[in-house]
Amino acid sequence: MRKFKDARESDGEIDSKGAFVCGAASGVIAKLLDFPLDTIKTRMQLQGAHKNVATCATHIWSSEGILGFYAGIPAPLVACALCTAVGFSGFNTGVKVYDEVCGNVPNGEFIPERVAAGGFTAGIAKAVVTTPFELVKCRVQAQPLRWRGVAHCAKDSM
């Protein structure tokens, strides 16, 4: 049985690569669980032909199968994985910077300022990553006929 390298540093904290991988994995799992409901919501908003969630889900299942619930998932899946990975890494970095500036914290001790430093760093990092994705998404949603797709809109927005 092959053993994986432990992602923890000598002090028991997860290293930056480990935080990035954990964040990406959690983003992928969250998007895979969330996307079918998002697809149902979007279809109900755009088509208006379904009375409720159950009838919409039944229609998608019978006409498209399971893959119908995941139509269009590649871009959001990558974006969510990247944003969550950056958030985890940003939090990890913020906590490490706090520890360097204020001294190491005894293992397991909760210090609100330490968590705030991690959250602040994660928030900034996620905003930097998500803003371009959101800009392109909103432009395509608002004026879908103006662009030939997401890539064209992204290129035009630079």
**Tens of pLDDT, residues 130-149:** 888 878 777 776 676 787 87
How many domains does the chain fold into?
A: 2
Give the pLDDT confidence of 20-45 residue by residue, as tens digits. Answer: 999 999 999 999 999 999 889 888 88
Q: Which amino acid is at 128?
A: V
- 0.85 exceeded by the pTM? no
**Among 34, 56, 71, residue at a domain's last position:** 71
Mean pLDDT of the chain: 84
Give the pLDDT confidence of 93-124 residue by residue, as tens digits. Answer: 998 888 889 887 776 678 899 899 999 999 99
> For residue 1, is it within any domain?
no
CB-count burial class (<10 Å; 0-12, 13-18, 19+) for 70: middle
> For residue 5, is it within any domain?
no
Residues 103, 135, single domain; the answer is: yes
> 5 pLDDT exceeds 70?
no
Q: Using alpha carbons only, what angle is made at residue 24 by residues 20 and 30, rounded to the nearest 5 degrees? A: 145
Residues 20, 88, single domain; the answer is: no
Torsion sign across C-alpha atoms 35, 38, 44, 47: negative
